[in-house]
Homo-oligomer: A and B are copies of this chain.
């Protein structure tokens, strides 16, 4: 007997949460499918494709089975994408799902969670299964059909 060994998703380093009454840990989401959407508020591809897709996923699936989590991974223009700017953005774009601000790094422009996940840019979509393992990791635009199929598959797993 053998199984494919999927990588355990690294924990999140978050400096501040929005749309959440308390900090959310990845561990606390075990048993749900987790859709982690990494974005920057001034990233045109995120605004045009990634964020609308995250909103659609948030609306399409039961909230107790699929957890959509935004991750603000600021790796450029740091001075103008701080928490206050993000708060205005979240309000204007009517984002309802929890959003964590990725903890900045002392070593360079790339924040800590973005580094831990080896993300190459924004938008990045990461699907994490009920046991906390990474099952899809996509940088750039990805069509709804494939994302839907992946989520549908993960939902059937124990």
Contacts and interface: CB of A to CB of B under 8 A. Distances in A.
Interface of A: 42-44, 47-48, 56-57, 60-61, 76-77, 79-82, 84-85, 88-89, 92-93, 143-157
Please state the number of chain copies in the assembly. 4
Given A44-B93, A80-B80, 10 more contacts: A44-B92, A60-B143, A80-B84, A144-B144, A145-B148, A149-B149, A152-B155, A153-B155, A153-B156, A156-B156
The A interface, classified by DSSP as helix, strand, loop or mixed, is helix
B153 A144 contact: no
B148 A152 contact: yes
Contacts of A88: 42, 76-77, 80-81
Nearest to A83: B80
Contacts of A80: 80, 82, 84-85, 88
In order of increasing CB-CB distance, the 7 nearest A-B pairs are: A148-B148, A152-B152, A149-B152, A144-B144, A80-B85, A77-B88, A152-B153
